[in-house]
Chains A and B, each alone.
Chain A
Amino acid sequence: MQILESKKIGERAYIEELESGLKIVVIPKKNFNKKHAIVGIKFGSIDNCFINPKNNKKITIPDGVAHFLEHKMFEQKNGTNSLDTLTALGVNANAYTTDTHTAYLIECTDNFDEAYKELLDYVQNPYFTRENVNKEKGIICQEIRMYEDDPTSRVYQNVLQCLYKNHPVRIDTAGTIDSVNSINKKILYDCYNTFYNPSNIVISLCGDFNPEEIIERTKNMIVQKESYKDIKRIYPEEPEEINKSMIIEKMEISTPIFVIGIKDKPKYGKEYVRKNIAIEILCNILIGNSSKLYKELYDNGEILSEITFEYQSSTDFAYLLLAGQSKEPEKVLSKFIKQIKSLKKKGIQEEEFERIKKKVYGGYITEYNEVSDIAKMFMIDCLEKVNTFDILDEFLTVNLDYIKEILNEVFVEKNIAISIISTN
Chain B
Amino acid sequence: MNYKYINLKEGVKLHTIKTEKFKTNLIAIFITVPLTRENVTKDTLIDLILHRGSKNYKTQEEINKRLEELYGAVFDYGIEKSGDNHVFKFYIESINDKYLNDDNEVLKNSIKILSDIVFNPIIKKGEFDEKYFETEKEKLKQIIDSKIDNKDTYSYYRCIQEMHKGKVFGLYKYGYKIDLDYIQNTDLYERYEQIINTGKIDIFLSGNIGDEQIALVKNDKNISKLQNRVAVYNVQYGRSDLVNSETIKEVSESMKVAQGKVVIGLNISEKRENTSFVALIYNMILGGSANSKLFQNVRESQSLAYTISSRYLKPKNNIFIKCGIDIKNYEKVIQTIKEQLDDLKNGNFSEEDIYNAKNTIIASIKGISDEQDTTITYYFGQELSHQKSNLINYAVEIGKVTKKDIINLANRININTIYFLRD
Select A146's contact among B23, B306, B366, beta carbons within 8 Å: B306
In chain A between 272 and 327, which residues have their CB closer than 8 angstroms to a CB of chain B? 288-290, 295, 298-299, 301, 304, 325
Please tell me if the beta carbons of B289 and A87 are within 8 angstroms of each other in the complex: yes
- How large, as a class, is the contact surface on chain A? 35 or more
A288 to B67, CA, bound (A): 13
Chain A nearest CB, measured from B390 CB (Å) = 14
B-contact 0/1 string along A251-272, CB 8 Å cutoff: 1111100000000000000000
Please tell me if the beta carbons of B99 and A365 are within 8 angstroms of each other in the complex: yes
CB contacts (< 8 Å) of B143 on chain A: these are 304
Please tell me if the beta carbons of A109 and B258 are within 8 angstroms of each other in the complex: no
Please tell me if the beta carbons of B256 and A145 are within 8 angstroms of each other in the complex: no
A366 to B305, CA, bound (A): 37
A366 to B23, CA, bound (A): 6
Name the segment of A164-172, A331-339, A354-362 touching the other chain.
A354-362
Chain B nearest CB, measured from A371 CB (Å) = 7
Interface centre among A145, A149, A252, A368 (most CB of B within 10 A): A149
B240 CB–A CB distance under 8 Å: no
In chain A between 70 and 115, which residues have their CB closer than 8 angstroms to a CB of chain B? 81, 83-84, 87-93, 107-111
Please tell me if the beta carbons of B68 and A254 are within 8 angstroms of each other in the complex: no
CB contacts (< 8 Å) of A251 on chain B: these are 256
CB contacts (< 8 Å) of A110 on chain B: these are 359, 362-363, 366
A304 to B138, CA, bound (A): 10
Please tell me if the beta carbons of B145 and A290 are within 8 angstroms of each other in the complex: no
CB contacts (< 8 Å) of B305 on chain A: these are 139, 142
Q: A254-B145, A301-B139 are in contact. Are A90 and B360 (CB under 8 A)?
A: yes
Please tell me if the beta carbons of B306 and A140 are within 8 angstroms of each other in the complex: yes
Please tell me if the beta carbons of B139 and A304 are within 8 angstroms of each other in the complex: yes
CB contacts (< 8 Å) of B148 on chain A: these are 252-254
Select A142's contact among B139, B256, B259, beta carbons within 8 Å: B259
Chain B nearest CB, measured from A357 CB (Å) = 9
Closest to B147 in A: A254
How many residue-residue contacts, CB under 8 A, span A and B? 170
Chain A: interface secondary structure?
mixed
A-contact 0/1 string along B123-142, CB 8 Å cutoff: 00000000100010011001
B149 CB–A CB distance under 8 Å: yes
A391 to B179, CA, bound (A): 50
A55 CB–B CB distance under 8 Å: no
Name the segment of B69-77, B84-92, B195-203, B220-228 touching the other chain.
B69-77
Chain B nearest CB, measured from A396 CB (Å) = 12
A9 CB–B CB distance under 8 Å: yes
Q: A146-B307, A366-B23 are in contact. Are A90 and B99 (CB under 8 A)?
A: no
Chain B nearest CB, measured from A397 CB (Å) = 18
A88 to B135, CA, bound (A): 51
Closest to B303 in A: A138
Q: A139-B306, A365-B99, A366-B95 are in contact. Are A90 and B72 (CB under 8 A)?
A: no
A347 CB–B CB distance under 8 Å: no
A189 CB–B CB distance under 8 Å: no
Chain B nearest CB, measured from A211 CB (Å) = 18
Closest to B360 in A: A90
B151 CB–A CB distance under 8 Å: yes
CB contacts (< 8 Å) of A362 on chain B: these are 70-73, 94-95
Please tell me if the beta carbons of B142 and A88 are within 8 angstroms of each other in the complex: no
B342 CB–A CB distance under 8 Å: no
Select B363's contact among A108, A359, A369, beta carbons within 8 Å: A108
Please tell me if the beta carbons of B23 and A87 are within 8 angstroms of each other in the complex: no
How many residues of B are counted as interface, with CB atoms below 8 angstroms from the partner's CB atoms? 67
Q: A33-B367, A366-B93 are in contact. Are A149 and B23 (CB under 8 A)?
A: no
Chain B nearest CB, measured from A29 CB (Å) = 8
CB contacts (< 8 Å) of A304 on chain B: these are 139, 142-143
Please tell me if the beta carbons of B306 and A369 are within 8 angstroms of each other in the complex: no
B109 CB–A CB distance under 8 Å: no
A54 CB–B CB distance under 8 Å: no
CB contacts (< 8 Å) of A107 on chain B: these are 367
Closest to B374 in A: A370
Chain A nearest CB, measured from B59 CB (Å) = 8
A112 to B371, CA, bound (A): 19
CB contacts (< 8 Å) of B412 on chain A: these are none
Chain A nearest CB, measured from B107 CB (Å) = 13
CB contacts (< 8 Å) of A136 on chain B: these are 303
CB contacts (< 8 Å) of B64 on chain A: these are 288-290
A244 CB–B CB distance under 8 Å: no
B416 CB–A CB distance under 8 Å: no
CB contacts (< 8 Å) of B65 on chain A: these are 290, 355
Please tell me if the beta carbons of B23 and A83 are within 8 angstroms of each other in the complex: no
Closest to A32 in B: B370
A254 to B148, CA, bound (A): 7
Q: A90-B360, A110-B366 are in contact. Are A151 and B149 (CB under 8 A)?
A: yes
A92 to B362, CA, bound (A): 12
Interface centre among B22, B61, B256 (most CB of A within 10 A): B61
In chain A between 104 and 157, which residues have their CB closer than 8 angstroms to a CB of chain B? 107-111, 135-140, 142-143, 145-146, 148-151
Q: A148-B258, A358-B68, A365-B99 are in contact. Are A142 and B146 (CB under 8 A)?
A: no
In chain A between 5 and 63, which residues have their CB closer than 8 angstroms to a CB of chain B? 8-10, 29, 31-34
CB contacts (< 8 Å) of B367 on chain A: these are 33-34, 107, 109
Chain B nearest CB, measured from A378 CB (Å) = 16
A8 to B296, CA, bound (A): 48
CB contacts (< 8 Å) of B356 on chain A: these are 87-90
A424 CB–B CB distance under 8 Å: yes
Please tell me if the beta carbons of B60 and A88 are within 8 angstroms of each other in the complex: no
A146 to B326, CA, bound (A): 10
A92 to B73, CA, bound (A): 30
CB contacts (< 8 Å) of A149 on chain B: these are 151, 257-259
Please tell me if the beta carbons of A253 and B149 are within 8 angstroms of each other in the complex: yes
Q: A34-B370, A290-B61, A358-B71 are in contact. Are A365 and B23 (CB under 8 A)?
A: yes
CB contacts (< 8 Å) of A150 on chain B: these are 150-151
A368 to B22, CA, bound (A): 8
Write the residues of chain B forming the contact surface with A, with a CB cutoff of 8 angstroms. 20-24, 59-61, 64-65, 67-74, 93-95, 99, 131, 135, 138-139, 142-143, 145-151, 255-259, 289-291, 296, 299-300, 303-307, 324-326, 352, 356, 359-360, 362-364, 366-367, 369-372
4 further interface pairs, Cβ-Cβ under 8 Å (given A33-B370, A358-B72, A359-B68): A107-B367, A142-B306, A365-B24, A369-B22
Write the residues of chain A forming the contact surface with B, with a CB cutoff of 8 angstroms. 8-10, 29, 31-34, 81, 83-84, 87-93, 107-111, 135-140, 142-143, 145-146, 148-151, 251-255, 288-290, 295, 298-299, 301, 304, 325, 355-356, 358-363, 365-366, 368-371, 424
10 A-B pairs closest in CB distance:
A138-B303, A90-B359, A362-B71, A362-B72, A359-B72, A254-B145, A109-B366, A290-B64, A90-B363, A142-B306
Q: List 8 A-B contacts (CB under 8 A).
A: A90-B360, A111-B359, A146-B306, A148-B259, A254-B146, A295-B60, A362-B95, A365-B71
